[in-house]
Amino acid sequence: MPELKCPSCEQPLQLNGNAWLCTNGHRFDRARRGYTNLLLAQHRRSRSPGDDKAMVRARTEFLQLGRYQPLADALLKDLPSQPDGDWLDLGCGEGWYTEQFARQLGSAQGAGVDISKFAVDSAAKRDKTLTWLVASGARLPLFDASLSRVIVLFTRLFTDDIARVLRPGGELIVAGTGASHLMPLREALYEDVRQSGFDASKFLDDRFCAIDEKVIQFDWQPQSEQELHNLLTMTPHHWRAKPSAKAEIGKLTGATMNAHFVIQRFRKQ
């Protein structure tokens, strides 16, 4: 597994019983669920940063329906079929994708990091061997050039720290939404639908070179109002859309919904 760095003094952490300790006496207890909180109070902008409980629950309920499996399959196809070094799922959320990556890349070699303790608490249930951490992507508790692969799905790109922890030749895999993602949902929520797709290269610089880009598109029919509400709650539209529009979203039950994703791969120079 990737060696962990003490967030207070940057010395290596050693696991002793159920606590991570550094030689300067800093101590971080591993929760019973199997994750460790390495986010220091002074590095938090709010008391509970990241996704809240309701968002985490909505994401779990939606993802377990398997609607986004074609995306997970496309990501898995781009990964080596067996472990080849330490890897990180950055902004891992409640771990639905992370658990699938671990089957290929190895649980013992992997870490899932998210700033939301609710998300990591839920993710840790999935795989006890993986290293699950509450930490910020802007300040990863990992050493320089220690990782072969960093995967970032639908989370902000913290370019400097990703560049720091990837070894030269290591890979960054990013998934984001394409311009037409969830178009029927967005048309139901907004009078004026903004056409914008995510492009990771806008956030990266010459420390990374592009390997390839894949577009994944598919349709499905949401089967219940609950499914649509869960889908809405796990997207930024949850904050942006008017409550009156959100309340109506159940009317899309049985209608065709579309997914439009872009997977981009980069090599650390």
Query: Contact at 8 Å (CB) between 132 and 93?
Result: no
3-state helix, strand, coil in the chain (%, to 5): 30, 30, 45
Binding-site string for Zn ion from residue 24 to residue 63, where x marks contact by CB under 5 A and - marks none: x-x-------------------------------------
Q: Least separation, in Å, of the C-beta of 259 and ligand SAM?
A: 12
State which residue, 20 or 97, has the beta carbon closest to ligand SAM.
Answer: 97
Neighbouring-strand partners of residue 149? 87, 171
Q: Least separation, in Å, of the C-beta of 23 and ligand SAM?
A: 27
Query: Contact at 8 Å (CB) between 229 and 61?
Result: no
Provide the edge-to-edge strand list for the sheet that holds 147-153. Answer: 35-37, 131-134, 110-114, 87-90, 147-153, 166-177, 257-268, 208-220
| 95 assigned ligand-binding residue | yes
Rounded CA separation 22/2 (Å): 15
* Contact partner at residue 22 from Zn ion, ligand SAM, none, CB < 5 to 8 Å by partner kind: Zn ion
* Contact partner at residue 24 from ligand SAM, Zn ion, none, CB < 5 to 8 Å by partner kind: Zn ion
* Contact partner at residue 7 from Zn ion, ligand SAM, none, CB < 5 to 8 Å by partner kind: none
* Contact partner at residue 64 from Zn ion, ligand SAM, none, CB < 5 to 8 Å by partner kind: none
Q: Which residues bind ligand SAM (CB under 6 A)?
A: 50-51, 59, 91-93, 96-97, 114-116, 119, 136-138, 153-155
Query: Contact at 8 Å (CB) between 64 and 97?
Result: no
* Contact partner at residue 147 from Zn ion, ligand SAM, none, CB < 5 to 8 Å by partner kind: none
User: 3-state SS string over 139-179?
Assistant: CCCECCCCEEEEEEECCCCCHHHHHHHEEEEEEEEEEEECC
**In the structure encoding, which two tokens stand for residue 64, read together?**
């377990």
State which residue, 38 or 189, has the beta carbon closest to ligand SAM.
Answer: 38
| 92 assigned ligand-binding residue | no
State which residue, 14 or 217, has the beta carbon closest to ligand SAM.
Answer: 217
State which residue, 22 or 105, has the beta carbon closest to Zn ion.
Answer: 22
Pairing verdict, β 257-268 and 14-16: unpaired
Q: Specify the DSSP element, H or E, that contains 7.
A: none
Q: Least separation, in Å, of the C-beta of 13 and Zn ion?
A: 7
Binding-site string for Zn ion from residue 10 to residue 29, where x marks contact by CB under 5 A and - marks none: -x----------x-x-x---
Q: Buried (b) or exposed (e) across 87-114, using 16+ Cβ within 10 A? A: bbbbbbbbbbbbbbbbebbbbebbbbbb
| 181 assigned ligand-binding residue | yes
Q: Which residues are annotated as a binding site for S-adenosyl-L-methionine?
A: 68, 94-95, 181
Contact residues toward Zn ion (CB under 5 A) are 6, 8-9, 11, 22, 24, 26
